[in-house]
A and B are shown apart, each in its own frame.
Chain A
Amino acid sequence: MAGSEGFVGADNAEAIITRIEHKTRKIESLLKQYKTVEALKTALEGTYAMTSDERCKSAHWIAVHRAIMAIKDVDGMLSSLDPEYYDILMKYLYRGLSTGDRPTCDQCLRIHEKLTERAGHGCILRFLTDTVNTV
């Protein structure tokens, strides 16, 4: 996988954080134009890079959370989302569910049901068994 290393040096983490901030600004602008699906895709891209650093993971999560909460039409969103994003989206949904925050959980649960219909139980299994690429 391009860009995945075990140990994250301080410089690299800073570079990632900067990239994420850049991404967040892009997401904000997409949301202003009501392009929620694009925003989600942007948020989900590149999340596997440097996955061992907690700060990077948190920063990625904040961006994805923003995009997830902005979604109103779940069916529409899933129809236009490429299947390659299903697995990573499922992982973030479970992260959302683990926060315990009511609005986040409601939204994640709503998306989880539709995503399971589309992607099947295999998608859930891949989240459960993947202990290496965690979000």
Chain B
Amino acid sequence: MAVISVHQFAQCITCHAWSPDRSMVAFCPNNNEVHIYRLVEDKWEKVHVLQKHDQLISGIDWSARSNKIVTASHDRNSYVWNLEGSEWVPTLVILRLNRAALCVQWSPKENKFAVGSGAKTVCICYYEQENNWWVSKLIRKRHDSSVTSVSWHPDNNLLATTSTDGKCRVFSTFIKGVDAKNDNKKDSKKSTSSDLKFGELIVQLDLSSSWTFGVKWSPSGNTLAYVGHNSMIYFVDDVGPSPLAQNVVFRDLPLRDVLFVSEKRVIGVGFDCNPMVFAADERGVWGFVRYLAERKTVSSGSRYGSQFSEAFGKFYGQSKPGVGNDAVETSKTRGVVHENCINSIIRLGERGILTRRFSTSGLDGRIVVWDLENEQDLLEL
């Protein structure tokens, strides 16, 4: 199996992030704190508790090079934590939000971070040297509802967002003084004058009629993937004036987050508690390949797991008297690693063309580390 390790850290985890050397993991155990654990000789020890937020922490990101942690919370605030000595010192970021912050991500160069919120805005925050604080610039227009997830393009300028209004949008986050203009020389064919205006909407994708989550860019930045709450996943190639979109329908429960393990392979995680693999074939057509972990083989009586069998038994009740009882499986262990919705999937290691390791965290309070070493079909570029 692709599972390397499973750790039960809490009753429920909302989000997690790893330290640059992957020796420590930070997560929110469904309250207003961030717990940091370090792996010491095969055992996990709690080394820090970051207490500053008043409400649930909905997003954590740990920058790989500058070793800063950024947290975003339902209390409408965001803090940037710096390690000074052995203490994590928080710096408040004034986001100017009147609703909860829902997600946060450092940009590839780690000089900016983006926060999506329930106030239908995205905050792009950058560091102002003179005043020694983090300033936020808001992208106020365009979103009709909460921004559920944000993702940075490798060029450190474009930002993709998904929202509960069903649309995925790409914005430019160019900030004078933070982003230098000459960096765009390499991609000069891509940058136009509109790319260099803060908050400019580059592309709006209206592919889904339901809430959208979990947007990510492929390693080259050419393809976007995001999921809808209607058990569909959307792939968009050549993001720009004439994008090529594909809607992939799948059998089971919706996904919440995705990760590109290579240019043509995507892993999606969600309510099925089992990562799903999607791949693009030679023609560029995306489709579902398989589940990553083993699925529990179903008893011949019914296809439904124990939590569903009672409900469906009643639903179909009249004609099938016996369906409720013989479908009950041995309670909790369903043969998959997570027992509740997986809501986050994080790459482990440097951003690159190929990702071998990643971790998932879920509402069951577990963080699971996966390695694709033995999955030959997923290691091809």
Contact = CB atoms under 8 A, between A and B. Distances in A.
A125 B251 contact: no
A129 B210 contact: yes
A121 B229 CA distance: 12
B209 A122 contact: no
A110 B319 CA distance: 9
A109 B315 contact: yes
A109 B314 CA distance: 12
Contacts of A133: 209
Interface in B222-260: 228-232, 249-254
Interface stretch (A5-13, A36-44, A56-64, A112-120): A112-120
B303 interface: yes
B209 A130 contact: yes
A120 B252 contact: yes
A125 B253 contact: yes
Contact of B230 (A106, A113, A120, A129): A129
Contacts, number: 52
Contacts of A125: 229-231, 253-254
A55 interface: no
Nearest to A130: B209
Contacts of A130: 209-210, 230
B251 A121 contact: yes
Q: Is the interface of B mostly helix, strand, loop or mixed?
A: loop
Given A121-B231, A128-B230, 16 more contacts: A109-B315, A110-B319, A117-B303, A120-B252, A121-B252, A122-B230, A122-B250, A122-B252, A125-B229, A126-B230, A126-B231, A126-B249, A129-B210, A129-B228, A130-B209, A131-B210
24 contacts: A106-B318, A110-B319, A113-B312, A119-B251, A120-B251, A121-B251, A122-B231, A122-B249, A122-B250, A122-B252, A122-B253, A122-B254, A123-B251, A125-B229, A125-B231, A125-B253, A125-B254, A129-B210, A129-B211, A129-B228, A129-B229, A130-B209, A131-B209, A133-B209
Q: 10 closest Cβ contacts across the A-B interface?
A: A120-B251, A122-B231, A129-B210, A129-B230, A132-B209, A125-B231, A126-B230, A122-B251, A120-B252, A130-B209
Interface of B: 209-211, 228-232, 249-254, 303, 312, 315-316, 318-319
Interface of A: 87, 106, 109-110, 113, 117, 119-123, 125-126, 128-133
